Every structure is written in structure tokens, then in C-alpha cells.
A = this chain, B = another copy of it.
Amino acid sequence: MRIEIVAVGTELLLGQIADTNSAWLGEHLASAGVDSHFHQAVGDNQARIVLALRTALSRSDGVIVSGGLGPTQDDITRESIAEVMNVGLVRDESIIGRIVEMFQARQRAMPENNLRQADVPVGASIIEQTRGTAPGLICPLGNKVIYAVPGVPHEMREMFERGILPDLRRRMAELGEESVIKSRVVRTWGASESGLAEALDERVAELDRREAADGSTLTIAFLASGIEGIKVRLTARAQSEAAADAILADEEKRIRAIVNERLGDIVFGVDEESMEDAVAQLLVRRGLSLGLAESLTGGLIAARLVNVPGASVWMKGSVVAYDSAVKRRLLAVPPGPVVSAAAAEAMATGARAALGSDIGLGITGVAGPDEQDAEQPGTVYVGLVIRDAPPISLQLHLPGDRDRVRQYAAISALDLLRRSLLAQPS
């Protein structure tokens, strides 16, 4: 099964936004065992959208088109698909009902042009809208198909999972094409890409040589994800989902063991598990609550942590002390330079007292571009105190501009907390 991806929007051609939708769709089609040989981007022009769709259909079994389903005059994906299908558009009463409801729920008046979103090419079925106002479309053309989804990423993703993937799976089953490709991502923090590759070199070579008796395959790839660390992606192709899962589970165990022996405790999660998820799990397991004192990160660490569901159980809060006077007044940081190990430890202790938490985590440093307290941009101190134990601290030298220094500082502080919690008794 081959599916081509077509992204609609003049802003893509003009480079005003990057086409992240096509990358996401490509990744998720590959996971489902669907080939995607071409992507196209095209502007908000009916003749050109029609040409792009016809070109795509001529070299694939189907097309996913994203964008151009909104309410305004330049949203013309519906009209373009109808032209390719050689049918008209009908206004669907049930869709109108849902759009009207959505505006009522938000207590806003509905501009008339929203009704365009209820237009459906004759013969197409819809993927009901649950987030935005525009539904998705499933448009059959003989034994081929055009799927249309909104360009807003979170709407597109949800409709792909709920509406497109099941329909693709059904079509593949009819063709007897059901091989399954599954991936698992092992996430690490604290090692370089080349260091990780070197540690796993032998295993990668072994997999390259291997020919599985049942035709299944397994590959390892390394992805540098900037501030989120280095990812090791395991990809298995097998006859069934269960068989692929078994291969991945086995390999994950092997990779963890090799990495742990060679590089220490650098694996913090799998797939979508973030560093804050890892910290949250450990806090719950140890029965400890957390309070923060943030200077250069300005609330970034707290904002990451409260996004974990159930955070209210262990998260007390954060004192974002951007101003030095606030550090002294609310956190009792003693006189002296505020970019120092002593200040970070005092902030941790002060956060624990002010917020009434078991653990205090303090972070101070220089985001740049100017130096502060005679310290260079990128110099960061993290302080940590758990219960009545003496505070500890860590000095870091982080690369990059203002924003990257902050992002690296936030994940580094969370990793220090994670490692310290691992060492605590349950």
C-alpha cells in the first residue's frame, strides 16, 4: 500500500511555517507498514491543488491531504477534491449542527462562512470533528482514496489515529498486506550520540548480519533530539503486532543492559515518557513532595512538571525568583553572589521551607548574553535538598543561546533529581 502526502497552504511554499505535518504523517504511515514514496506541498490555488492530487493518485494507492479545510475563502481543499472526483459538494446538516453547537458552547457568535466547513463531496464520508470546527473527509475514487484532514497539527493527528488509520488497516487487510512495523524509542540523557553509538556498535553490526528465520527484521538507529537527549530507536517488522512487540521488548532489555554497563544510568524513559514523567513516577513511589526555586529557568521546570497528570499529589509549587531581592526575601538566600553553588543550595533549602515540601530544588545561573557575578553565560548551579539531609549541588557549563541554556538547565536539573531519587529508599 502506497500513500502520498499532500500538504496545502501557501505559507508552506513561502517558508513561513515548516511542514511538520508531512513528517509526522510519514513517520506514522511507516509505523503502520504503509509506504510513502512522495510528499508534495502546494499553495491555496484550486487548479494547482487539483494537479497535485492527480499527480499523487497517478503514482500511489491513495493520498492524505492536510490543510485548506477551514472556513475562509482561501480554504479550497473541499472544492479541489470534488473536482478530482468529478462530483459536486452537498452541505451536510449534521455537520452544521455540530459547528453551531461548538460556537454556542464557547458563547461566541458564528460567522456565516463557517457553514462552508459542512460541504462534503458527493460520495465522501466524514471523520467527525471533535476538536476544531472542520470534519475530515474520506473520499473514494474507484479503488483509490483521498483522505482530507485539517492542517492544525493536533486536529490532524487525532483524526489520523481515529479515522484514517483504521480505514487504511481495513484496505491493507483486503490486499493481504498486513505486515506490521513497530518502533520503540529508548530515551537517554547525559551521553553523546557518538558515545552511545560506540557502546552499541557491536550489537548494531550483529543485527545487520542477522537473517531471522521467520523473515522478521530488527534495526537500531540513533536520533539526536537536542534538549531532549539522544534517542535509540528500535524498529521491528513482523507478521503480527504481538510478534513485533515481543521482539522490541526483548531488544529493549538487551540495550538497557549494555548501556547501563558501559555508560551508567542514562536511560530515563521509553517512547513518549519524558524526563518529568520519570521524576513524577519516582516522587510518587518514594512518597515525596517537591518545591522549586527557579532563577534563570524562570518557571520552565515547574511548567514541565505540572503538565504531568496527577502532579497535584506531589507538586507544591515554585518560587520564580528572577530578581535578586526576591531570592533574599522569599528564599532567605544570604548575601553574596547569586550565581554560585552556595546560592543554589540556599535556594533549594529556601524553597523547601517556603513551599512546605519534602524536597527543595534550586537553580541559578547565567542564560546570557551578558555575564553575571563574573560567571560566563551557560554557567549554571543546581542545588538539591531531600528532607533533612545536607544540601548538594552541581555545576554545569551549557552551550547555546539564552533559550537553549535555559532548556538544557531545566532538563539537567530534573535529571539530577531523578538520579538522586533512584538512590533513595522506597
* A-to-B contact residues, CB < 8 Å: 10-20, 22-28, 30, 36-45, 48, 51-52, 55, 59, 70-74, 106-114, 131, 152-154, 183, 185, 192-195, 197-198, 204, 221-224, 226, 233, 235, 292, 294, 296-303, 305-307, 309, 311-312, 315-323, 325-326, 329-330, 354-356, 367, 369, 397, 399-400, 402-404, 406
Contact = CB atoms under 8 A, between A and B. Distances in A.
Give 6 closest A-B pairs by Cβ, nearest first.
Answer: A299-B299, A15-B27, A298-B306, A299-B302, A318-B320, A15-B23
How many copies are assembled?
2
A239 to B, nearest CB: 20
A253 to B, nearest CB: 22
B299 A326 contact: no
Given A15-B27, A37-B42, A305 B298 contact: yes
26 contacts: A11-B221, A14-B26, A14-B27, A14-B183, A14-B235, A16-B183, A19-B19, A19-B39, A37-B43, A51-B59, A71-B193, A73-B204, A74-B221, A107-B397, A111-B198, A131-B399, A298-B311, A298-B318, A299-B302, A299-B306, A306-B367, A307-B402, A309-B369, A312-B323, A320-B320, A330-B355
Contact of A355 (B18, B226, B300, B323): B323
Nearest to A223: B11
B309 A298 contact: no
A227 to B, nearest CB: 10
Nearest to A133: B194
A19 B22 contact: yes
B298 A298 contact: no
Given A13-B39, A15-B27, A113-B194, A326 B356 contact: yes
